[in-house]
Amino acid sequence: MLEENKAMIEGFLTITDPETGEVFFDGPNSIHFENFSESLAFSMAHKNKGYIYQMSFGNGGSNVDPTGVITYLPPNQTGQSADLYNETYSKVVDENSASNTDPSRNSLTVVHTVGKVYTDILVKCLLDYGEPSGQQAFDNSTNVNGEFVFDELGLKTIGDTVNNLQLVTHVVFHPVQKSLNRQIQINYTIRIQSLTHIQSV
């Protein structure tokens, strides 16, 4: 399917509890191709913008009816002003930024194998025990619409300022509560490759 679509950029992520090994999500994400192409051009042209800066989390990606049936909303992939449905938290993952409070665990790594026609960007983000501020003590909330019951996340690139960010990826998943008793680790791979010899993540 990837060869038929001639995909050049694809993403894949895992969301886990690093202490227990529990996997909350393991799958692909959606790329906002317009914003990604613009960001890539700015970055390649050395315009000091267009690079991945932030991982954003939200709680507006799904609806749960009274019987527990979950309906997932489609990822936002069009329009330059596209955003998460309801962003409630974010972390800076650019380790060169002074706003990154833990660059050893929230970072960007470029991974390339000589001779291959693709290069990966590995984005790592850890939501530690004490963050976000105001979370509940235990992961037993019955409110699936809670501020930190996440069901969507995305990567954003920086524009002219940190107040002007563009959504370049978006994924919607089963609600996962962030609480004081657990860490959440996100390993997010973005693969950039030529239009020939397509290989999946």
pLDDT tens sequence across 64-111? 888 889 999 999 999 999 999 999 999 999 999 999 999 999 999 999
- CB 198 within 8 Å of CB 2: yes
- With cut-offs at 50, 70 and 90, classify the pLDDT of residue 117: confident
- Over residues 2-13, the mean pLDDT reads 71
- pLDDT of 14 > 80? The answer is yes
pLDDT of residue 192: 94
Q: What is the mean pLDDT of residues 132-156?
A: 90
Those residues with Cβ within 8 angstroms of residue 144's Cβ, 6 or more apart along the chain or in another chain = 64, 175
Over its C-alpha atoms, the chain yields an Rg (Å, rounded) of 17
Cβ density class 135-161: b for 16+ within 10 Å, e for less: bbeebeeeebebbbbbbbbbbbbbbee
In the DSSP assignment, the letter for residue 75 is: P
Residue 161 lies in a domain: yes
Residue 195 or 166, more confident: 166
Please check whether residue 3 lies inside any domain of the structure: no
The answer as to whether 2 is a domain residue is no
Q: Per the domain annotation, does 198 fall within a domain?
A: no
Name the domain count of the chain: 1
Domain range for residue 42?
A: 8-193
The better pLDDT of the pair 69, 141 is held by 69
SS3 43: helix
Examine residue 199 and state whether it is found in any structural domain, yes or no.
Answer: no
Q: Binning pLDDT at 50, 70 and 90, where does residue 198 land? A: low
Q: Report yes or no on 90 lying in a domain.
A: yes
| Separation of alpha carbons 140 and 67, rounded Å | 18
